[in-house]
Amino acid sequence: MAKAAICFLLMFSSSLALAQAKVMNAGEGIGQLVVLSSGDILTNSAKFKKLNPLSIAVFDELPMQLAVIAGAITLRQQNFNSHVQLKAIALKTPNLDISKVEGGLAHPMFQGLQDGDWIRLKLEKSGAIAIERSTQEAAIEFRNQKIKSLKPVRLQSDLMEARILPHAELTAADFVRFGSKAANYAELARSLNTSTRTVVRPGYAVPFFYYQEFLELNPEILDAMEALVRDPLMQKVERIEYREVKLAELREMMVATETKMNPELSARLVEIFDTHVNSTGELRRFKLRSSTNSEDLPNFNGAGLYESHSYKPVNKKGKVRDQAGKIAEVEEALRNVWASVWTLRAYEERTMYRIPHLDVKMGIQINPSFSDEGADGVVITKNILNDPNLPGEGVYLESQRGDTFSVANPDSGVSPERVLVLIDAADKLNVSKYRVHTVGQSNVADNGTEILPHVNPNPVMAEVEIKDLVYQSLKAQIQLESQLDKAQESFTLDLEFKVDSEDTGERQVYLKQARPYLDQ
Protein backbone atom coordinates (compact mmCIF):
# COMPACT_ATOMS: atom_id res chain seq x y z
CA MET A 1 0.00 0.00 0.00
CA ALA A 2 1.20 3.48 -0.83
CA LYS A 3 2.10 5.53 2.22
CA ALA A 4 1.08 9.12 2.85
CA ALA A 5 4.37 10.45 1.49
CA ILE A 6 3.94 8.81 -1.92
CA CYS A 7 3.62 11.30 -4.72
CA PHE A 8 0.29 11.48 -6.40
CA LEU A 9 -1.41 12.47 -9.66
CA LEU A 10 -0.47 15.73 -11.31
CA MET A 11 -1.87 16.77 -14.68
CA PHE A 12 -1.88 20.56 -14.78
CA SER A 13 -4.84 21.94 -16.76
CA SER A 14 -4.79 18.98 -19.14
CA SER A 15 -6.87 15.92 -19.84
CA LEU A 16 -5.64 12.37 -19.84
CA ALA A 17 -7.31 9.31 -21.31
CA LEU A 18 -5.81 6.62 -19.11
CA ALA A 19 -7.04 3.33 -20.53
CA GLN A 20 -6.50 1.36 -17.34
CA ALA A 21 -8.30 3.88 -15.15
CA LYS A 22 -12.08 3.58 -15.02
CA VAL A 23 -14.31 6.59 -14.58
CA MET A 24 -17.07 5.15 -12.42
CA ASN A 25 -18.92 8.43 -12.04
CA ALA A 26 -18.23 11.56 -14.04
CA GLY A 27 -18.14 14.81 -12.15
CA GLU A 28 -16.00 17.53 -10.67
CA GLY A 29 -14.80 18.14 -7.14
CA ILE A 30 -12.25 20.22 -5.24
CA GLY A 31 -10.80 18.88 -2.02
CA GLN A 32 -7.84 17.78 0.03
CA LEU A 33 -6.24 14.45 -0.83
CA VAL A 34 -6.56 11.91 1.97
CA VAL A 35 -4.71 8.64 1.29
CA LEU A 36 -6.23 5.87 3.40
CA SER A 37 -4.62 2.49 3.98
CA SER A 38 -6.62 -0.69 4.42
CA GLY A 39 -5.86 -0.41 8.14
CA ASP A 40 -7.37 3.08 8.28
CA ILE A 41 -10.58 1.80 6.75
CA LEU A 42 -10.89 -1.52 8.57
CA THR A 43 -10.18 0.03 12.00
CA ASN A 44 -12.19 3.20 11.38
CA SER A 45 -9.10 5.20 12.24
CA ALA A 46 -9.05 8.86 13.23
CA LYS A 47 -7.88 9.71 9.72
CA PHE A 48 -10.83 7.88 8.19
CA LYS A 49 -13.23 9.57 10.62
CA LYS A 50 -11.92 12.99 9.57
CA LEU A 51 -13.18 12.57 6.00
CA ASN A 52 -15.51 15.46 5.25
CA PRO A 53 -17.12 17.29 2.32
CA LEU A 54 -13.75 18.90 1.55
CA SER A 55 -11.91 15.55 1.21
CA ILE A 56 -10.95 13.68 -1.94
CA ALA A 57 -10.32 10.22 -0.54
CA VAL A 58 -7.97 7.58 -1.91
CA PHE A 59 -9.16 4.18 -0.69
CA ASP A 60 -6.95 1.11 -0.51
CA GLU A 61 -10.07 -0.83 0.56
CA LEU A 62 -13.71 -0.13 -0.20
CA PRO A 63 -15.37 1.29 2.92
CA MET A 64 -18.58 -0.19 4.29
CA GLN A 65 -19.90 3.27 5.20
CA LEU A 66 -18.95 6.63 3.82
CA ALA A 67 -19.61 10.22 4.84
CA VAL A 68 -20.06 12.99 2.28
CA ILE A 69 -16.80 13.66 0.44
CA ALA A 70 -15.76 15.75 -2.57
CA GLY A 71 -14.50 12.80 -4.62
CA ALA A 72 -13.14 9.26 -4.49
CA ILE A 73 -10.27 7.31 -6.01
CA THR A 74 -10.03 3.60 -5.28
CA LEU A 75 -7.13 1.18 -5.49
CA ARG A 76 -9.62 -1.70 -5.26
CA GLN A 77 -11.99 -2.67 -8.03
CA GLN A 78 -15.48 -1.30 -7.63
CA ASN A 79 -18.79 -2.78 -8.66
CA PHE A 80 -21.59 -0.67 -10.09
CA ASN A 81 -23.45 -1.20 -6.82
CA SER A 82 -20.51 -0.58 -4.51
CA HIS A 83 -21.32 1.85 -1.72
CA VAL A 84 -18.70 4.31 -2.99
CA GLN A 85 -20.32 4.36 -6.43
CA LEU A 86 -23.88 4.68 -5.15
CA LYS A 87 -22.81 7.63 -3.02
CA ALA A 88 -20.95 9.24 -5.91
CA ILE A 89 -24.08 9.03 -8.08
CA ALA A 90 -26.34 10.33 -5.33
CA LEU A 91 -24.06 13.26 -4.50
CA LYS A 92 -22.87 13.93 -8.06
CA THR A 93 -19.22 13.58 -7.11
CA PRO A 94 -16.31 12.20 -9.19
CA ASN A 95 -15.36 8.57 -8.60
CA LEU A 96 -12.28 6.96 -10.20
CA ASP A 97 -11.23 3.29 -10.09
CA ILE A 98 -7.45 2.85 -10.67
CA SER A 99 -7.29 -0.76 -9.50
CA LYS A 100 -6.02 -1.88 -12.92
CA VAL A 101 -3.44 0.88 -13.31
CA GLU A 102 -0.03 -0.80 -13.22
CA GLY A 103 1.70 0.06 -9.97
CA GLY A 104 -1.28 1.96 -8.64
CA LEU A 105 -0.12 5.19 -7.06
CA ALA A 106 3.46 4.36 -8.02
CA HIS A 107 2.66 4.62 -11.75
CA PRO A 108 4.86 7.21 -13.49
CA MET A 109 1.79 9.14 -14.56
CA PHE A 110 0.88 9.72 -10.91
CA GLN A 111 3.44 12.20 -9.80
CA GLY A 112 3.78 15.57 -8.18
CA LEU A 113 1.04 15.60 -5.55
CA GLN A 114 1.10 14.30 -2.00
CA ASP A 115 -1.34 13.31 0.67
CA GLY A 116 -2.74 16.55 2.11
CA ASP A 117 -2.53 18.61 -1.09
CA TRP A 118 -5.58 20.44 -2.41
CA ILE A 119 -6.63 19.44 -5.92
CA ARG A 120 -9.41 19.81 -8.46
CA LEU A 121 -10.50 16.44 -9.88
CA LYS A 122 -12.59 16.40 -13.03
CA LEU A 123 -13.76 13.17 -14.65
CA GLU A 124 -15.67 12.92 -17.88
CA LYS A 125 -17.87 10.12 -19.23
CA SER A 126 -15.51 9.82 -22.18
CA GLY A 127 -12.82 8.61 -19.77
CA ALA A 128 -10.90 11.90 -19.74
CA ILE A 129 -9.26 12.75 -16.42
CA ALA A 130 -8.06 16.21 -15.42
CA ILE A 131 -6.29 17.01 -12.16
CA GLU A 132 -4.78 20.29 -11.09
CA ARG A 133 -3.67 21.97 -7.92
CA SER A 134 -6.18 24.04 -5.96
CA THR A 135 -6.75 25.60 -2.53
CA GLN A 136 -8.94 25.18 0.53
CA GLU A 137 -10.67 28.48 -0.25
CA ALA A 138 -11.54 27.23 -3.72
CA ALA A 139 -12.86 23.97 -2.26
CA ILE A 140 -15.16 25.79 0.16
CA GLU A 141 -16.46 28.09 -2.57
CA PHE A 142 -16.98 25.14 -4.94
CA ARG A 143 -18.93 23.24 -2.29
CA ASN A 144 -21.10 26.25 -1.49
CA GLN A 145 -21.93 26.74 -5.15
CA LYS A 146 -22.69 23.04 -5.54
CA ILE A 147 -25.12 23.09 -2.62
CA LYS A 148 -26.87 26.06 -4.20
CA SER A 149 -27.12 24.19 -7.51
CA LEU A 150 -28.74 21.11 -6.00
CA LYS A 151 -32.50 21.19 -5.90
CA PRO A 152 -33.59 21.30 -2.23
CA VAL A 153 -35.58 18.30 -1.03
CA ARG A 154 -38.84 19.20 0.66
CA LEU A 155 -40.10 16.62 3.13
CA GLN A 156 -43.69 15.65 3.84
CA SER A 157 -45.12 13.99 6.92
CA ASP A 158 -48.52 13.24 8.40
CA LEU A 159 -48.26 12.54 12.13
CA MET A 160 -51.91 11.71 12.75
CA GLU A 161 -51.84 8.01 11.80
CA ALA A 162 -51.26 5.87 14.92
CA ARG A 163 -52.13 2.40 13.60
CA ILE A 164 -49.56 -0.32 12.97
CA LEU A 165 -50.75 -1.62 9.62
CA PRO A 166 -49.95 -4.70 7.54
CA HIS A 167 -48.44 -3.89 4.19
CA ALA A 168 -51.58 -5.25 2.52
CA GLU A 169 -53.41 -2.14 3.75
CA LEU A 170 -50.85 0.36 2.48
CA THR A 171 -50.31 2.03 -0.90
CA ALA A 172 -47.60 4.27 -2.33
CA ALA A 173 -49.60 7.28 -1.11
CA ASP A 174 -48.96 6.26 2.49
CA PHE A 175 -45.34 7.41 2.29
CA VAL A 176 -46.40 10.59 4.13
CA ARG A 177 -47.40 8.49 7.16
CA PHE A 178 -45.09 5.46 7.06
CA GLY A 179 -42.16 6.48 4.85
CA SER A 180 -41.28 5.58 1.28
CA LYS A 181 -39.55 2.30 2.10
CA ALA A 182 -42.66 0.85 3.71
CA ALA A 183 -44.99 2.32 1.07
CA ASN A 184 -42.87 1.04 -1.82
CA TYR A 185 -42.64 -2.37 -0.15
CA ALA A 186 -46.43 -2.45 0.03
CA GLU A 187 -46.69 -1.65 -3.68
CA LEU A 188 -44.21 -4.43 -4.44
CA ALA A 189 -46.34 -6.90 -2.53
CA ARG A 190 -49.53 -5.64 -4.18
CA SER A 191 -48.14 -6.01 -7.71
CA LEU A 192 -46.16 -9.24 -7.33
CA ASN A 193 -47.81 -11.54 -4.80
CA THR A 194 -50.48 -13.96 -6.01
CA SER A 195 -52.63 -16.63 -4.42
CA THR A 196 -49.99 -19.23 -5.33
CA ARG A 197 -46.73 -17.27 -5.00
CA THR A 198 -45.22 -14.93 -2.43
CA VAL A 199 -42.52 -12.74 -3.93
CA VAL A 200 -42.61 -10.07 -1.20
CA ARG A 201 -42.98 -11.42 2.32
CA PRO A 202 -45.94 -9.92 4.19
CA GLY A 203 -44.98 -7.50 6.92
CA TYR A 204 -46.04 -4.40 8.83
CA ALA A 205 -45.33 -0.69 9.06
CA VAL A 206 -45.01 1.58 12.11
CA PRO A 207 -46.02 5.20 11.33
CA PHE A 208 -44.12 8.44 12.00
CA PHE A 209 -46.53 9.07 14.88
CA TYR A 210 -44.51 6.93 17.28
CA TYR A 211 -41.17 8.59 16.51
CA GLN A 212 -42.71 11.97 17.24
CA GLU A 213 -44.41 10.61 20.35
CA PHE A 214 -41.07 9.25 21.59
CA LEU A 215 -39.54 12.72 21.32
CA GLU A 216 -42.45 14.31 23.14
CA LEU A 217 -42.26 11.70 25.90
CA ASN A 218 -38.60 12.63 26.31
CA PRO A 219 -38.48 16.44 25.97
CA GLU A 220 -34.81 16.56 26.95
CA ILE A 221 -34.04 14.70 23.69
CA LEU A 222 -36.12 17.11 21.64
CA ASP A 223 -34.39 20.05 23.34
CA ALA A 224 -31.00 18.53 22.50
CA MET A 225 -32.01 18.13 18.84
CA GLU A 226 -33.12 21.74 18.59
CA ALA A 227 -29.92 22.96 20.26
CA LEU A 228 -27.83 20.85 17.90
CA VAL A 229 -29.31 22.25 14.70
CA ARG A 230 -28.91 25.81 16.05
CA ASP A 231 -25.24 25.25 16.98
CA PRO A 232 -23.11 27.40 14.61
CA LEU A 233 -20.15 25.02 14.93
CA MET A 234 -22.26 22.25 13.38
CA GLN A 235 -22.35 24.37 10.20
CA LYS A 236 -18.58 24.68 9.79
CA VAL A 237 -17.73 22.15 7.09
CA GLU A 238 -14.25 21.39 8.43
CA ARG A 239 -15.51 20.60 11.97
CA ILE A 240 -16.35 16.99 11.16
CA GLU A 241 -15.07 15.64 14.50
CA TYR A 242 -17.20 18.12 16.42
CA ARG A 243 -20.30 17.03 14.52
CA GLU A 244 -19.48 13.38 15.08
CA VAL A 245 -19.20 13.85 18.85
CA LYS A 246 -22.38 15.90 19.16
CA LEU A 247 -24.41 13.47 17.05
CA ALA A 248 -23.08 10.49 19.01
CA GLU A 249 -24.11 12.18 22.27
CA LEU A 250 -27.62 12.68 20.90
CA ARG A 251 -27.91 9.05 19.78
CA GLU A 252 -26.72 7.86 23.20
CA MET A 253 -29.55 9.83 24.80
CA MET A 254 -32.05 8.23 22.46
CA VAL A 255 -30.98 4.60 22.95
CA ALA A 256 -30.69 4.80 26.74
CA THR A 257 -32.90 2.21 28.44
CA GLU A 258 -34.29 4.82 30.84
CA THR A 259 -35.99 6.75 28.05
CA LYS A 260 -39.78 6.70 28.21
CA MET A 261 -41.58 4.45 25.73
CA ASN A 262 -45.22 3.89 24.88
CA PRO A 263 -45.90 0.47 26.47
CA GLU A 264 -48.87 -0.12 24.19
CA LEU A 265 -46.63 0.11 21.11
CA SER A 266 -44.16 -2.47 22.44
CA ALA A 267 -46.89 -4.83 23.59
CA ARG A 268 -48.71 -4.60 20.27
CA LEU A 269 -45.58 -5.43 18.29
CA VAL A 270 -44.81 -8.45 20.49
CA GLU A 271 -48.40 -9.57 20.04
CA ILE A 272 -47.97 -9.37 16.27
CA PHE A 273 -44.62 -11.15 16.28
CA ASP A 274 -45.99 -14.00 18.42
CA THR A 275 -48.46 -14.90 15.66
CA HIS A 276 -45.70 -15.69 13.13
CA VAL A 277 -43.93 -19.03 13.04
CA ASN A 278 -41.80 -20.71 10.38
CA SER A 279 -42.37 -24.09 8.72
CA THR A 280 -41.02 -25.93 11.80
CA GLY A 281 -43.25 -24.04 14.24
CA GLU A 282 -40.53 -21.76 15.64
CA LEU A 283 -41.18 -18.07 16.22
CA ARG A 284 -39.80 -15.96 13.40
CA ARG A 285 -37.13 -13.33 13.66
CA PHE A 286 -38.04 -9.91 12.25
CA LYS A 287 -36.09 -7.04 10.76
CA LEU A 288 -37.06 -3.51 11.77
CA ARG A 289 -35.89 -1.28 8.93
CA SER A 290 -35.73 2.50 8.67
CA SER A 291 -38.52 4.08 6.64
CA THR A 292 -38.07 7.82 6.88
CA ASN A 293 -39.58 10.63 4.85
CA SER A 294 -36.02 11.41 3.66
CA GLU A 295 -35.00 8.24 1.79
CA ASP A 296 -36.12 6.24 -1.25
CA LEU A 297 -37.48 9.42 -2.83
CA PRO A 298 -37.37 10.10 -6.59
CA ASN A 299 -34.85 12.92 -6.03
CA PHE A 300 -33.07 11.68 -2.89
CA ASN A 301 -32.47 7.99 -2.26
CA GLY A 302 -30.64 8.25 1.06
CA ALA A 303 -29.08 4.82 0.55
CA GLY A 304 -27.21 3.61 3.61
CA LEU A 305 -27.97 6.65 5.76
CA TYR A 306 -30.13 4.97 8.38
CA GLU A 307 -30.01 1.65 10.21
CA SER A 308 -31.97 -1.56 10.65
CA HIS A 309 -32.17 -3.74 13.74
CA SER A 310 -33.35 -7.26 14.38
CA TYR A 311 -35.98 -8.60 16.73
CA LYS A 312 -35.05 -12.06 17.99
CA PRO A 313 -37.66 -13.94 20.03
CA VAL A 314 -34.99 -16.44 21.15
CA ASN A 315 -32.06 -15.48 23.38
CA LYS A 316 -28.42 -16.46 22.93
CA LYS A 317 -29.01 -19.68 24.87
CA GLY A 318 -31.67 -20.75 22.39
CA LYS A 319 -34.60 -20.23 24.76
CA VAL A 320 -37.72 -18.29 23.86
CA ARG A 321 -37.74 -14.98 25.73
CA ASP A 322 -40.45 -14.32 28.31
CA GLN A 323 -42.84 -11.40 27.80
CA ALA A 324 -40.56 -8.92 29.56
CA GLY A 325 -37.61 -10.10 27.48
CA LYS A 326 -39.55 -9.70 24.26
CA ILE A 327 -40.66 -6.20 25.25
CA ALA A 328 -37.06 -5.22 26.02
CA GLU A 329 -35.89 -6.65 22.69
CA VAL A 330 -38.52 -4.71 20.75
CA GLU A 331 -37.83 -1.46 22.57
CA GLU A 332 -34.09 -1.75 21.98
CA ALA A 333 -34.70 -2.19 18.26
CA LEU A 334 -37.13 0.75 18.13
CA ARG A 335 -34.76 3.11 19.94
CA ASN A 336 -31.84 2.20 17.70
CA VAL A 337 -33.76 2.64 14.46
CA TRP A 338 -35.16 5.99 15.64
CA ALA A 339 -31.70 7.15 16.76
CA SER A 340 -30.23 6.43 13.33
CA VAL A 341 -31.92 9.59 12.05
CA TRP A 342 -28.92 11.29 13.63
CA THR A 343 -25.98 9.37 12.17
CA LEU A 344 -23.15 11.54 10.88
CA ARG A 345 -23.53 10.26 7.33
CA ALA A 346 -27.26 11.09 7.35
CA TYR A 347 -26.66 14.56 8.79
CA GLU A 348 -23.95 15.35 6.23
CA GLU A 349 -25.93 14.18 3.22
CA ARG A 350 -29.10 15.99 4.29
CA THR A 351 -27.05 19.16 4.74
CA MET A 352 -25.90 18.89 1.12
CA TYR A 353 -29.51 18.88 -0.03
CA ARG A 354 -30.61 21.57 2.46
CA ILE A 355 -33.02 19.19 4.15
CA PRO A 356 -34.21 20.58 7.51
CA HIS A 357 -33.05 17.96 10.01
CA LEU A 358 -35.96 18.45 12.38
CA ASP A 359 -38.38 17.74 9.53
CA VAL A 360 -37.10 14.17 9.25
CA LYS A 361 -39.55 11.61 10.63
CA MET A 362 -38.79 7.93 11.14
CA GLY A 363 -41.29 5.22 10.33
CA ILE A 364 -40.36 1.55 10.47
CA GLN A 365 -40.88 -1.21 7.96
CA ILE A 366 -41.10 -4.65 9.55
CA ASN A 367 -40.64 -7.87 7.63
CA PRO A 368 -39.63 -11.46 8.48
CA SER A 369 -35.88 -12.07 8.39
CA PHE A 370 -34.38 -14.46 5.86
CA SER A 371 -32.62 -17.40 7.47
CA ASP A 372 -31.80 -19.82 4.63
CA GLU A 373 -30.26 -17.56 2.01
CA GLY A 374 -28.88 -19.07 -1.14
CA ALA A 375 -28.06 -15.67 -2.62
CA ASP A 376 -28.72 -11.97 -2.30
CA GLY A 377 -27.99 -8.94 -4.38
CA VAL A 378 -29.09 -5.80 -6.19
CA VAL A 379 -30.99 -5.24 -9.45
CA ILE A 380 -31.03 -2.13 -11.64
CA THR A 381 -33.82 -2.15 -14.23
CA LYS A 382 -31.58 -0.60 -16.85
CA ASN A 383 -28.57 -1.53 -18.96
CA ILE A 384 -25.96 0.52 -17.12
CA LEU A 385 -22.89 -1.22 -18.57
CA ASN A 386 -22.48 0.99 -21.66
CA ASP A 387 -20.78 -1.97 -23.33
CA PRO A 388 -20.87 -1.63 -27.14
CA ASN A 389 -20.86 -5.42 -27.39
CA LEU A 390 -24.08 -5.63 -25.32
CA PRO A 391 -26.31 -2.84 -26.62
CA GLY A 392 -30.00 -2.49 -26.06
CA GLU A 393 -32.48 -2.30 -23.23
CA GLY A 394 -31.73 -4.56 -20.32
CA VAL A 395 -31.64 -5.30 -16.61
CA TYR A 396 -28.36 -5.41 -14.68
CA LEU A 397 -27.86 -7.42 -11.50
CA GLU A 398 -25.09 -8.27 -9.07
CA SER A 399 -25.49 -11.26 -6.78
CA GLN A 400 -23.49 -13.16 -4.20
CA ARG A 401 -24.00 -16.62 -2.75
CA GLY A 402 -24.95 -16.97 0.90
CA ASP A 403 -25.28 -14.05 3.30
CA THR A 404 -21.70 -13.61 4.50
CA PHE A 405 -20.57 -11.17 1.81
CA SER A 406 -22.47 -8.07 0.78
CA VAL A 407 -22.91 -6.88 -2.79
CA ALA A 408 -23.49 -3.23 -1.91
CA ASN A 409 -20.60 -3.17 0.58
CA PRO A 410 -18.14 -5.79 -0.71
CA ASP A 411 -15.20 -6.96 1.33
CA SER A 412 -11.77 -6.49 -0.19
CA GLY A 413 -11.04 -9.08 -2.86
CA VAL A 414 -14.63 -10.35 -3.06
CA SER A 415 -16.29 -10.30 -6.47
CA PRO A 416 -20.01 -10.75 -7.11
CA GLU A 417 -21.63 -12.46 -10.05
CA ARG A 418 -22.46 -9.74 -12.58
CA VAL A 419 -25.19 -10.37 -15.12
CA LEU A 420 -26.84 -8.33 -17.85
CA VAL A 421 -30.16 -9.57 -19.19
CA LEU A 422 -31.13 -8.02 -22.51
CA ILE A 423 -34.87 -7.71 -23.06
CA ASP A 424 -37.32 -6.76 -25.81
CA ALA A 425 -38.16 -3.11 -25.13
CA ALA A 426 -41.58 -3.55 -26.69
CA ASP A 427 -42.35 -6.78 -24.83
CA LYS A 428 -40.60 -6.43 -21.47
CA LEU A 429 -42.47 -9.18 -19.63
CA ASN A 430 -41.88 -11.83 -22.29
CA VAL A 431 -39.44 -14.12 -20.49
CA SER A 432 -38.82 -16.20 -23.62
CA LYS A 433 -37.09 -13.18 -25.17
CA TYR A 434 -34.69 -12.60 -22.27
CA ARG A 435 -31.01 -13.10 -23.14
CA VAL A 436 -28.73 -13.72 -20.15
CA HIS A 437 -25.11 -12.56 -20.36
CA THR A 438 -22.72 -13.25 -17.47
CA VAL A 439 -20.15 -10.44 -17.45
CA GLY A 440 -18.41 -11.36 -14.20
CA GLN A 441 -18.21 -14.39 -11.92
CA SER A 442 -18.19 -14.64 -8.14
CA ASN A 443 -15.05 -15.78 -6.38
CA VAL A 444 -16.87 -17.04 -3.28
CA ALA A 445 -16.86 -20.79 -2.66
CA ASP A 446 -20.06 -22.84 -2.88
CA ASN A 447 -20.31 -22.83 0.93
CA GLY A 448 -20.78 -19.05 0.78
CA THR A 449 -18.14 -18.30 3.40
CA GLU A 450 -14.73 -18.74 1.75
CA ILE A 451 -13.01 -16.48 -0.77
CA LEU A 452 -11.33 -18.38 -3.57
CA PRO A 453 -8.06 -17.30 -5.25
CA HIS A 454 -9.88 -17.66 -8.57
CA VAL A 455 -13.43 -17.28 -9.86
CA ASN A 456 -15.96 -19.96 -8.99
CA PRO A 457 -17.15 -21.58 -12.24
CA ASN A 458 -20.48 -22.45 -10.61
CA PRO A 459 -23.09 -19.72 -11.08
CA VAL A 460 -24.55 -17.98 -8.03
CA MET A 461 -28.00 -18.15 -9.58
CA ALA A 462 -29.52 -20.51 -12.12
CA GLU A 463 -30.68 -18.99 -15.39
CA VAL A 464 -34.31 -19.72 -14.54
CA GLU A 465 -33.89 -17.79 -11.26
CA ILE A 466 -32.27 -14.86 -13.07
CA LYS A 467 -35.10 -14.66 -15.59
CA ASP A 468 -37.68 -14.89 -12.82
CA LEU A 469 -35.92 -12.09 -10.96
CA VAL A 470 -35.86 -9.89 -14.05
CA TYR A 471 -39.54 -10.57 -14.75
CA GLN A 472 -40.55 -9.70 -11.17
CA SER A 473 -38.36 -6.59 -11.18
CA LEU A 474 -39.87 -5.29 -14.42
CA LYS A 475 -43.39 -5.94 -13.12
CA ALA A 476 -42.42 -3.92 -10.04
CA GLN A 477 -41.09 -1.10 -12.22
CA ILE A 478 -44.31 -0.90 -14.19
CA GLN A 479 -46.34 -0.73 -10.95
CA LEU A 480 -44.16 1.83 -9.17
CA GLU A 481 -43.73 4.00 -12.25
CA SER A 482 -47.49 4.48 -12.27
CA GLN A 483 -47.50 5.42 -8.56
CA LEU A 484 -44.42 7.58 -8.00
CA ASP A 485 -43.64 11.05 -9.25
CA LYS A 486 -40.95 10.72 -11.89
CA ALA A 487 -37.99 13.02 -11.41
CA GLN A 488 -36.10 11.35 -14.27
CA GLU A 489 -36.80 11.07 -17.96
CA SER A 490 -36.25 7.32 -17.75
CA PHE A 491 -37.76 5.77 -14.63
CA THR A 492 -35.46 3.07 -13.25
CA LEU A 493 -35.66 1.00 -10.09
CA ASP A 494 -32.93 -0.09 -7.70
CA LEU A 495 -34.13 -3.28 -6.00
CA GLU A 496 -32.71 -5.61 -3.37
CA PHE A 497 -33.46 -9.32 -3.57
CA LYS A 498 -32.90 -12.62 -1.80
CA VAL A 499 -32.96 -16.23 -2.89
CA ASP A 500 -34.22 -18.23 0.08
CA SER A 501 -35.69 -21.70 0.71
CA GLU A 502 -37.01 -21.38 4.28
CA ASP A 503 -40.72 -21.15 3.44
CA THR A 504 -41.01 -23.39 0.40
CA GLY A 505 -38.27 -25.95 0.96
CA GLU A 506 -36.66 -24.99 -2.34
CA ARG A 507 -34.90 -21.91 -3.68
CA GLN A 508 -37.13 -19.00 -4.60
CA VAL A 509 -36.57 -15.38 -5.54
CA TYR A 510 -37.90 -12.70 -3.16
CA LEU A 511 -37.81 -8.92 -3.48
CA LYS A 512 -37.24 -6.93 -0.28
CA GLN A 513 -36.81 -3.29 -1.26
CA ALA A 514 -37.37 -0.91 -4.17
CA ARG A 515 -36.28 2.67 -4.63
CA PRO A 516 -35.96 5.01 -7.63
CA TYR A 517 -32.49 4.69 -9.13
CA LEU A 518 -30.61 7.97 -9.31
CA ASP A 519 -28.79 7.90 -12.62
CA GLN A 520 -25.40 9.41 -13.34
Q: Which of 13-17, 151-155, 474-478 has the lowest mean pLDDT?
A: 13-17
Q: Which of 152-156, 408-412, 508-512 has the lowest mean pLDDT?
A: 408-412
How far apart, in whole angstroms, are the C-alpha atoms of residue 495 and residue 471?
13
Higher-pLDDT residue of 296 and 218 is 218
Predicted confidence band at 304 (pLDDT cuts at 50, 70, 90)?
confident
Report the pLDDT value the prediction gives residue 352, as an integer from 0 to 100: 87
Report the pLDDT value the prediction gives residue 123, as an integer from 0 to 100: 93
Residue 7 has pLDDT above 60, yes or no: no
How far apart, in whole angstroms, are the C-alpha atoms of residue 93 and residue 292?
24
Residue 220 has pLDDT above 80, yes or no: yes
Report the pLDDT value the prediction gives residue 310, as an integer from 0 to 100: 94
Report the pLDDT value the prediction gives residue 297, as an integer from 0 to 100: 79
Q: What is the secondary structure of 450-512 as a DSSP string?
A: -B-SS--SS-SS-HHHHHHHHHHHHHHHHHHHHHSPP-SSS--EEEEEEEE-TTTSS-EEEEE
Mean pLDDT on 295-322: 87
Report the pLDDT value the prediction gives residue 18, as an integer from 0 to 100: 54
Report the pLDDT value the prediction gives residue 110, as an integer from 0 to 100: 64
Predicted confidence band at 317 (pLDDT cuts at 50, 70, 90)?
confident
Contact 226, 234 (CB under 8 A): no
Q: What is the pLDDT of residues 383-418, one digit of tens each?
A: 988 788 999 999 999 999 988 887 866 666 788 999
Contact 80, 416 (CB under 8 A): no
Report the pLDDT value the prediction gives residue 257, as an integer from 0 to 100: 95
In this prediction the pTM is: 0.85
Report the pLDDT value the prediction gives residue 16, as an integer from 0 to 100: 42
Residue 520 has pLDDT above 80, yes or no: no
